[in-house]
Amino acid sequence: MSNLATLARPYAKAAYAHAVASDVVTEWLKFLTESSAIVLAPKVVETFRNPRIEKENVLTLFLGKEANANDRIVQTFKNFIQLLWENQRLAVLPEVAQQFTALHLQSENIVEGDLVTAQPISDEDANKIKHQFEKKWQVKLKLTHSVDESLLGGALIRVGDRVFDGSVKTQIALLTKALEKF
């Protein structure tokens, strides 16, 4: 996986720099997300392995009817896909999309995080937690919420490489460890 990340990094950085300079970051985010979905489709992977597939067919696959458009953004997308195709790097497109998104979030001072609770909570409660973290870290937090009943109670919050574990499951484990020492 780290190999894909290494291969994708220069493409993601170049695409992001271009998107920012051209003020088309939103369009690039959409294009990369859609293109990644195409690359991940099993039948498409088989198609790319065919040595007889022509570049124009690949471009049509990604850009559809717009493959021959003269629109500046479409031409840029076309050039990008062409570059990946010629360098046999279409497989890194999902990683390029992920790194591009990370660069965008970083530039906007947005941090992604996960809120895991033992039971469903209201959107209002999730927003309260989100706002507390935003206030403490001076960032915008893009928070996803899921439920994991194995936590027994409480919540677990992952933000970047930090984990805040206020779950009952962890408290019981810590108590058990402490009691084992006696």
Tens of pLDDT, residues 96-107:
999 999 999 989
Residues 156, 166: Cα–Cα separation, whole Å: 6
The answer to whether the CB of 116 falls within 8 A of the CB of 147 is yes
> Residues 115, 84: one domain?
no
Query: What is the CATH classification number for the domain harbouring 39?
Result: 1.10.520.20
> Residues 96, 116: one domain?
no
> Residues 60, 138: one domain?
no
> Residues 119, 140: one domain?
yes
Q: What is the mean pLDDT of the chain?
A: 89
Q: Which of 58, 79, 105 is the last residue of a domain?
A: 105
Q: Which of 62, 84, 105 is the last residue of a domain?
A: 105
- Over residues 132-166, the pLDDT tens digits come to 989 988 889 999 999 999 999 999 999 877 899 99
Residues 83, 116: Cα–Cα separation, whole Å: 40
> Residues 116, 68: one domain?
no
SS3 per residue for 48-95: HHCCCCCHHHHHHHHHHHHHHCCCHHHHHHHHHHHHHHHCCCHHHHHH
Please tell me the predicted confidence (pLDDT) of residue 144: 93
> Residues 164, 97: one domain?
no
What six digits make up the tokens of 61? Answer: 């696959």
> Residues 93, 166: one domain?
no
Range of the domain at 39: 2-105
> Residues 122, 47: one domain?
no
pLDDT band with cut points at 50, 70 and 90 for residue 68: low
**Number of domains observed in the structure of the chain:** 2
> Residues 84, 21: one domain?
yes
> Residues 65, 17: one domain?
yes
Q: Which of 80, 105, 130 is the last residue of a domain?
A: 105
Please tell me the predicted confidence (pLDDT) of residue 50: 74
> Residues 47, 115: one domain?
no
> Residues 11, 98: one domain?
yes
